[in-house]
Structure 1
Amino acid sequence: MMTTNLLDVFTHGLGVAISPLVIIALVMILLSPRAKENGIAFLAGWLFGLGALGGVIFMIGGLSGMGHRPVIHGALALTFGLLLFALALRSWGHRKDKQETSRWLSAADHFTPLQAGAAGCFFAAIYPKNLILTAAMASKLAETASPQRIEDYGLFIVIGSLTIAGPVVLYLLAGKTIQPRLDRSKDWLVQHSRQILIALLCFFGARLSIRGLLLLTGGG
């Protein structure tokens, strides 16, 4: 695995894994009466969403013949970076609005397994931050040969799923004894989720924008 790809896999994977709203929703699921079934369903939906999104992007890349074309990849990286900055500005403008978090807090507690799985898939593949970061990672890996691409993207999924699989596995092992700790974690995330999200969006927005500009100017 190339060093640059390895660095991108880890950083983008962590960017996907650190998703406060997603973790809050998962914790609410694990505090609900159907915690075991819904937690497993949420994790399954999450893994499916990440895998399916990567597969779609690889297919589009293959059909369009993106390959190793710096101008195309530079334009994509710059676009993704600017989109993340736009999301950061939107989040900053709504930083005092708790409606989004409150909606998930009230809904996740009453999910059926099917709804929990659909929520996991949504957060992995459609939730804007994760959609952009995953698309940026998959489009970069589209440059590499197929076997290496699958290996790299598989590692990306593993890293991006740590904060989802971790609580589910802990609940399966420890049961309800872990719930007080999960509840405290949820309370902390509710208080700081907006700040964490804005910091992540700005970091990856800058990182992708710089990479895009370097590729477009021949410096990457």
Structure 2
Amino acid sequence: MGELILDLIPVALGVVLSPLAIMALVAVLLSQNARANGIAYLLGWFLGLAGLMALFLWLFPVLQVHQRGEPPLWVPLVRLLVGLFLVASAVWVYRKGRVHVLQMAAASTPRDVVAASPQLPGWLHSVESFRPGRTLLLGIGLFVLNPVDASCAIIAALDITLSDVDPAAGVWVAAAFVVVGTLPIALPVVYVVVRGRDAQPLLDRVRTWIAGNTHVLNAALLLVIGALQLQKALAALL
């Protein structure tokens, strides 16, 4: 159990510090009806993370990753591909993040946030007028369709499936992973729900900090996670 938790810590941090999700959240919390939209976005993010984890926790046993005591060849190959993708993503996140730091720090409306974050979909320019239903879909889509966050969830499900913990303990570990991955979205949303307009000064400070630091932290985490996956893949293949 302890070894599994240690393996999952960097993967969980990769979800926690997702710049795409946090920048979209900032836009949502600056929109009209920020409380309802914030709750809808939080619910969507939770459903995306929990749903993807549940899918692969079901799928990997069906694919018999424990067949004859050793994972089949496709398991290290998946780790190899995911590791290469995450290392490349780390380089991309770092280079792109530096370009938009000042523009993001100066953003004061949802439109400004989206303009400072070209990786966000263009239709987010209309986030000011989003209703909760559409914001819910945004939360789900930004996790499930974001290859970095989705890769972290898949890695977590694979590590849990390959571990020696019993199925009940694996479910608890997966639930803890989902809770930790949801916290960076939940805490700002709860704060806005409680404080309303009084939350704006803190949101401005958080946005400024995110603009200046998140891309560096996220790039470093992606690099670490990618390197760990490459190490596991090569150890199994060689």
Task: Name 1:117's counterpart in structure 2.
Answer: 136
* Equivalent residues of 1:48, 1:121 under 8 A apart: yes
Equivalent residue number for residue 61 of structure 1: 60
Q: CA deviation at 1:114?
A: 1.5
C-alpha distance 138-180 of structure 1, shift in aligned 2 (>3 A) = same
Q: CA deviation at 1:193?
A: 4.2
C-alpha distance in 1 between matches for 2:6 and 2:63 = 26
Does residue 133 of structure 1 match 2:174? Answer: no
1:195 matched to 2:216: yes
The Cα shift of 1:170 comes to 1.4
Instruction: Please say if residues 20 and 142 of structure 2, whose CA atoms lie closer than 8 Å, have aligned partners that are also in contact.
Output: no
Q: Percent identity?
A: 30
- Cα pair distance change 1:26/1:165, threshold 3 Å: same
TM-score, normalised relative to structure 1: 0.86
Equivalent AA in structure 2 for residue 128 of structure 1: P
Of 88-97 and 57-66, the range deviating more from structure 2: 88-97
Give the conservation status (yes or no) of the 8 Å contact 1:76–1:136: no
Q: Secondary structure at the residue paired with 2:129?
A: coil
Determine the C-alpha separation between the residues in 2 that align with 1:94 and 1:173: 34
How is 1:145-160 mapped onto 2 (pairs within 5 angstroms)?
A: 145-160=166-181
Aligned AA for 2:77?
A: A
Q: Take 2:136 and 2:34, find their aligned partners in 1: how far apart are those partners?
A: 13
Q: The residue matched to 1:66 in structure 2 has which SS?
A: coil
Q: In the alignment, what sits opposite 2:190?
A: 169
Unaligned stretches of 5+ residues in structure 1: none
Structural RMSD (CA): 2.3
Structure 1 residue 24 displacement after superposition: 1.9
TM-score, scaled to structure 2: 0.80
The one-letter amino acid of 2:198's match is T
